[in-house]
Amino acid sequence: MDSNQQHIQEELNISPEEAGQRIDQYLTNLFAEHSRATWQQWIKQGHVKINGHDTKSKTLLKGFEMISIDVKLEQAVDHQSEKMDLDILFEDEYLLILNKPVGLVVHPGSGNPTGTLLNGLLALNDHQVMLPRAGIVHRLDKDTSGLMVVAKTTETQNKLINLLKTHDIKRQYLCVVRGQISQSGTVNAAIGRHKTQRIKMAVNFDGKSAVTHYQPLEVFDHFSYLQVELETGRTHQIRVHMHHLGHPLVGDPLYGNPKRVDPSVNDELKVLIRQFPRQALHAQQLTFDHPITHKSVCVESPLPSDLSDLLSELEILDLKNNDFDEMEVEYCE
């Protein structure tokens, strides 16, 4: 089989028991890896025939017909494949979950035509090229580390996208923010494009609904270590919502002015914070019911060394608020 093209060539005999269904619905049920809209397009283009004749999507099956299918699937992405040493923590025939390192761009774009995660996924197998965005269903910013789920089949990709839309994939993050947050809370504030700075997002009443839940794990004199769970998945959501609360992420170059440090912070800590090279954000856990096998999937990524070192330094400098009781956090069993 050509890695850039697949061919669906089938002849199907309709039984009396299958009568009464629309042909587009029948084909969608039979070939679940392709959406109903895709089958409607193929029927319109003449790639599906009943008894040798063109048909319409709304045609009802009567029984004893012969359906002929002749569809050539062209590749969905046109980018260069590149072998990469991807850190894959879970994989089966339907999907994989990988640990994205800091600095890896997810999609090719202006200034990044190669060297992205998408390029690396295309080198994994012959099927990723057939999937939109090479199977990617959500993204992380370049300098955010952690877990991403990637589909390996069209059916899985469609179902994962639906799980994200219905908030049935639990995405848990860890981050370090400026200021003290000693109580759990929720930010429910719509996010849209910034009115004047187009590369930024902002809380905007005309934007899309965005909900972020947060819980403190440790509180220091001037900083807090949080566990954050996304209910929605807007661009820069955690970064925008924390900035909106007045607690931007440490090291965030877009929303936090990483060089600005409270004057009361001691000199050693000022250097530590100013030198932290990226937003202190890590996608730590993904939990969901597998869209095909329906088994529970729960994958964790260890805290990367730069964030672990930052927390250790905060503790060594004895900035921890001793009056704060650490809260219990549930992780995968």
Diameter of the chain by CA atoms? Answer: 83
Pairing of strands 281-289, 145-151: parallel
Given pLDDT bands bounded at 50, 70 and 90, which one contains residue 320? Answer: very low
**Three-class SS state of 129:** helix
CA 120, CA 105: separation in Å to the nearest integer?
A: 11
Separation in Å, CA 294 to CA 33, 174, 291: 16, 27, 6
Given pLDDT bands bounded at 50, 70 and 90, which one contains residue 333? Answer: low
pLDDT at 1: 35
Q: What is the pLDDT of residues 48-92, one digit of tens each?
A: 999 999 999 999 999 999 999 988 776 667 678 899 999 999 999
Q: Is residue 167 left, alpha or beta, with left meaning phi > 0 and alpha meaning psi from -120 to 50?
A: left
What sections of the chain are H helices per DSSP?
23-30, 36-44, 117-122, 154-165, 237-245, 267-275, 305-316
Compute φ and ψ for 315, nearest 5 degrees: -70, -40
CA 289, CA 313: separation in Å to the nearest integer?
A: 38
Write down the mean pLDDT value for the chain.
Answer: 88
Which of 167, 114, 172, 124 is closest to 146 using CA atoms? 172
Rounded mean pLDDT of 223-229? 96
Q: What is the pLDDT of residues 251-262, one digit of tens each?
A: 999 998 878 888
Gap between the terminal Cα atoms of the chain: 42
Which residues have a catalytic role annotated?
141
Given pLDDT bands bounded at 50, 70 and 90, which one contains residue 151? Answer: very high
